Amino acid sequence: MSNLHKPWLAQQTWEDLLFIHWPVAPSILAPFIPSPLELDHFKDSAWISIVPFLGTNNKARKLGEFLSLSPFLELNVRTYVKYKGEHGVYFLTMDADSPLAVIGARMIAGLPYFHAVMKHRKKQGIIHYSSQRRHNSQPDVSFSCNYAPVSEPYYPAASSLTYWLTERYSLWKAKQGKVTKGPIYHEPWKLQEAKLELHQNQLLNFLPEPIGHTSPLVHYCPTKHVKFYPFERLN
């Protein structure tokens, strides 16, 4: 049973969010997916995505009170999984420039957050986004790009790859065979096609084979409000 009927734990607004998606052979990604989660496929291909955004309106509930965080930048690497027929997202790394957000997410939610020095600048409709990971015992991974929307907003068709990649309302964790699901809620994605200039990308260096030789699928969303609900144990 979903936990969406319970009070939300945290809420956030995602601004200037970009989806950068690459197809990848399932054999490359499968070793990074903990059992019993399964790697999800779209027409026999797995996918990996990089998602930069600015997080604003950050609020968390604690003991009936609201705790607010200042806006911070976040940069996620994610792939797509399923468990007993239910589809969701699995995060491989999550970088943020807020030490408090990183510590809280690692300790409370057990998510793979790392601290990074990040910049977000918007000028004449073009967004520049850069990140340099600075986390103890982690390599100093760099990422830098420019992006901008180039189409009118639209809702992806339910049968499309874009819909399959974006319309997912749970994040999954698995440790020592124990599966937990983190439900989230937001309105359906209204996206724009986007132009991307990728200057540096070391976020995928952990993969045994490079995948950046193909052009990514790129989409932009100016703003999206999201609520996070309590994790639920499923097995």
pLDDT in tens, 179-226: 999 999 999 999 999 999 999 999 999 999 888 677 999 999 999 999
Residue 11: predicted pLDDT: 94
pLDDT at 1 over 50: no
- The mean pLDDT of the chain is 93
Q: What is the mean pLDDT of residues 167-177?
A: 95
CB-based contact 192:151 (threshold 8 Å):
yes
Residues 6+ apart with CB under 8 A from 35: 174, 177
| 206 vs 93: CA distance, rounded Å | 10
| 193 vs 160: CA distance, rounded Å | 14
* Of 15, 188, 9, residue with least CA distance to 104: 9
Residue 6: predicted pLDDT: 75
- H/E run at residue 26: helix 26-29
The more confident residue out of 89 and 215 is 89
The more confident residue out of 134 and 62 is 134
The more confident residue out of 177 and 61 is 177
| 156 vs 152: CA distance, rounded Å | 12
Question: 220: how many CB neighbours lie within 10 A of its CB?
Answer: 21
pLDDT at 2 over 60: no
List the single range of 2-16, 41-55, 138-152 with lowest mean pLDDT: 2-16
